[in-house]
A and B are shown apart, each in its own frame.
Chain A
């Protein structure tokens, strides 16, 4: 079965640079979620989109922005990168059907900021 696709899988950036992470949800899934997982931490919710509209917002820094496109893929844009942004970034997708839905996670993008 098709899974959530994330790219790139690994990314190395320097402080103050920008990064763009991409997420392609499972086919027919209409909701995308972004999570950040630091070393030894549990995943922390950043932001989500349903039908191209922001649906929920968590602890996402103002330096980060995200959007969902007409084909339901999503991009997380990160600017003025800081050392503390080094983490695993997971995208998850679900199919919204009027009740809470199971989220399936992609393999993640490992970001290292030097």
Chain B
């Protein structure tokens, strides 16, 4: 079982739709949580950090539930440019510690 698990996708939704991704992690000692976006053959780019109180950045909302070891990402009013792979990421047993990625969820937005 992977340490970080995500919805496998792919998600294929129309422009303007709302889409939600889920992610679970197994190590309760994990400290920090992130969503990265990765376009084909490019590097992962930080989309947002995820905090216990939940956080929002424009059309994107991230939630963390430590008790259930669950992270979510909600994208509202999706755009064609949102098409990418979304990687859930967990790190932080200590400073300078590695990131463990989920397998990624592929999102395709259709016109």
Contacts and interface: CB of A to CB of B under 8 A. Distances in A.
Interface stretch (B14-22, B43-51, B54-62, B69-77): B43-51
B23 to A, nearest CB: 12
A104 B46 contact: yes
A100 B31 contact: yes
A105 B100 contact: no
Interface in A2-35: 31, 33, 35
Contacts of B102: 42
Contacts of B104: 42
Contacts, number: 69
Given A102-B46, A104-B46, A105-B44, A48 B98 contact: yes
A90 B95 contact: no
Interface residues of B, number: 25
Secondary structure of the B contact surface, majority rule: loop
Contacts of B98: 33, 45, 48, 56, 58
Given A102-B46, A107-B43, A55 B100 contact: no
Given A42-B104, A58-B98, 9 more contacts: A33-B99, A43-B99, A45-B98, A90-B44, A99-B95, A100-B31, A102-B46, A105-B45, A110-B41
Interface of A: 31, 33, 35, 41-43, 45, 48, 50, 55-56, 58, 88, 90, 92, 94, 96-108, 110
